[in-house]
């Protein structure tokens, strides 16, 4: 049990420390509000797209995909998404908060925490399974986030007529998806991956990483994404907001760290014997990354860019990260006790 707690802490505490660093740098006057706003846009339009492209391209092969495993992950995300809409609309009438809460419930920090978490839990098999899932769940997270924040944002609550127009404006939603930098980066990654597979089919040995200077530059840009995004998030964090948003913070945090992982992991556990070849340890390591990790850092950045309640979004990233240090430990311990790991 101690090693499970240490493992969970090692996965989450570095994130907390980077947020704390940003918080104190802002208080020390080293980070201005202008810098944080620009940094937010830079992260959303450059750094996270570079990270997504790199992760998608890093998938070894599409031939070894366990589609039962992938389909379960996709189906579960959709179920959580629709349940989140129902629960959140019943919980609050504030559209700017609705969009943020819905996004927080279905969108985990899979790219930054989930992938290394799966690798640490189940070694190379866990890393391989998580890499395959990333090609499907990361684009899905981003598409659903764009849909959510397009439907629910600050302006969409101006009047009943305006709200109705926002909800039925499918064209606006589709344009938002197509133009979103995260979606564009993911699609480019999949296109490059398809070209690579075509080269393999033709027996051509050329790969993107053979252009070493270009690939190294991409690696360098990708590597600064997480620390920079967390520092910016910490600089924007305000403890004074907790007293105003405590209901939303508790609601979003409990669903993200307790309700969602319990639902996703327990259903997978109970149906595993009904599926051939079934869910193995590496699959559950991936499911922990999909369902049990805290709210994605990109959710706060996207909320700011798409005119949602970015203050609440930032709070949810911080508090779900703190709570998940305990909850991930519990889920890992339980799965070990029942013989999954």
Could you tell me the residue ranges of all domains in the chain? 2-337
- Quote the tokens at residue 247: 């209901």
SS3 295: strand
Across the range 198-215, mean pLDDT stands at 77
User: Tokens 């996207």 label which residue?
Assistant: 302
The CA-based angle 79-81-86, given to 5 degrees, is 95
**Residue 228 pLDDT > 70, yes or no?**
yes
First-to-last alpha carbon distance for the chain, in angstroms, is 13
What's the number of CA atoms in the CB half-sphere (13 Å) around residue 120?
19
Across the range 126-155, mean pLDDT stands at 80
User: How far apart are alpha carbons 80 and 102 in whole angstroms?
Assistant: 9
- Quote the tokens at residue 163: 């709200």
SS3 108: strand
Q: How far is CA 217 from CA 56, 184, 203, 220, 222, in A?
A: 16, 19, 27, 5, 9
Q: pLDDT digits over 15-55, tens only? A: 778 888 998 999 899 999 889 888 878 887 888 788 778 87
- Quote the tokens at residue 88: 């959140």
Q: pLDDT digits over 281-301, tens only? A: 888 989 998 999 889 877 887
pLDDT of 277: 63
The CA-based angle 272-335-333, given to 5 degrees, is 175
Of residues 324, 257, 279, 272, the one with CA closest to residue 133: 279
Burial class of residue 250 (count of CB atoms within 10 Å of its CB; 0-12, 13-18, 19+): exposed
pLDDT of 292: 92
Exposure string of 258-275, with b = 16+ CB inside 10 Å and e = fewer, is bbbbbbbbebbbeeeeee
pLDDT of 170: 66
Across the range 166-172, mean pLDDT stands at 57
**Residue 250 pLDDT > 70, yes or no?**
yes
**Main-chain phi, psi angles of 295, to 5 degrees:** -60, 140
1 confidence band (pLDDT: 50, 70, 90): low
Q: Report the percent of the chain where pLDDT is more than 90.
A: 18
What's the number of CA atoms in the CB half-sphere (13 Å) around residue 277?
8
- Quote the tokens at residue 210: 């053979």
pLDDT of 259: 95
What's the pTM value of the predicted model, to 2 decimals?
0.75
**Residue 163 pLDDT > 50, yes or no?**
no
Q: How far is CA 180 from CA 45, 174, 186, 308, in A?
A: 9, 10, 10, 15
Across the range 252-266, mean pLDDT stands at 95
Architecture of domain 2-337: Up-down Bundle (1.20)
pLDDT of 165: 47
**Residue 239 pLDDT > 60, yes or no?**
yes
**Residue 101 pLDDT > 50, yes or no?**
yes
Of residues 245, 322, 312, 319, the one with CA closest to residue 103: 312
Residues near 257 by Cβ (< 8 Å), separated by ≥ 6? 292, 294, 320, 323, 324, 327
What is the residue-averaged pLDDT of the chain?
Answer: 81
Across the range 117-136, mean pLDDT stands at 77
User: How far apart are alpha carbons 141 and 183 in whole angstroms?
Assistant: 10
**Residue 138 pLDDT > 90, yes or no?**
no
Across the range 131-149, mean pLDDT stands at 82
- Quote the tokens at residue 187: 């699609």
pLDDT of 192: 83
Across the range 140-159, mean pLDDT stands at 74
pLDDT of 168: 47
Across the range 313-331, mean pLDDT stands at 86
């Amino acid at each position: 049990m101690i090693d499970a707690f240490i493992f969970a802490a090692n996965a989450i505490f570095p994130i907390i420390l980077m947020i704390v660093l940003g918080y104190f740098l802002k208080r020390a006057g080293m980070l201005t509000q202008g810098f944080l706003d620009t940094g937010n846009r830079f992260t959303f339009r450059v750094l996270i797209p570079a990270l997504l492209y790199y992760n998608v391209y890093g998938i070894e092969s599409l031939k070894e995909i366990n589609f039962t495993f992938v389909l379960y992950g996709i189906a579960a995300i959709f179920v959580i998404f629709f349940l989140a809409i129902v629960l959140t609309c019943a919980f609050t009438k504030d559209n700017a908060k609705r969009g943020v809460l819905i996004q927080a419930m279905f969108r985990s920090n899979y790219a930054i925490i989930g992938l290394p978490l799966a690798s640490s839990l189940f070694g190379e098999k866990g890393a391989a399974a998580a890499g395959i899932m990333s090609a499907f769940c990361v684009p899905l997270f981003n598409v659903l986030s764009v849909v959510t924040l397009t439907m629910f944002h600050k302006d969409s609550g101006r009047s009943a007529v305006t709200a109705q127009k926002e909800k039925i404006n499918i064209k606006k939603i589709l344009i938002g998806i197509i133009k979103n930098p995260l979606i564009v980066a993911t699609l480019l990654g999949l296109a490059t991956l398809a070209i690579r597979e075509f080269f393999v089919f033709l027996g051509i040995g050329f790969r993107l990483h053979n252009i070493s200077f270009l690939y190294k530059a991409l690696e360098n840009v990708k590597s600064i994404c997480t620390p920079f995004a967390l520092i910016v998030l910490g600089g924007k964090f305000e403890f004074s907001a907790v007293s105003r948003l405590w209901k939303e913070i508790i609601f979003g945090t409990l669903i993200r760290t307790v309700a969602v992982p319990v639902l996703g992991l327990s259903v997978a556990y109970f149906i595993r014997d009904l599926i051939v070849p079934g869910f193995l340890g590496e699959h559950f390591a991936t499911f922990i990354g999909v369902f049990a990790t805290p709210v994605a850092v990109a959710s706060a950045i996207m909320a700011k860019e798409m005119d949602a309640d970015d203050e609440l979004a930032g709070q949810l990233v911080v508090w779900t990260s703190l709570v998940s240090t305990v909850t991930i430990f519990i889920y890992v311990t339980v799965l070990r006790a029942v013989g999954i790991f």
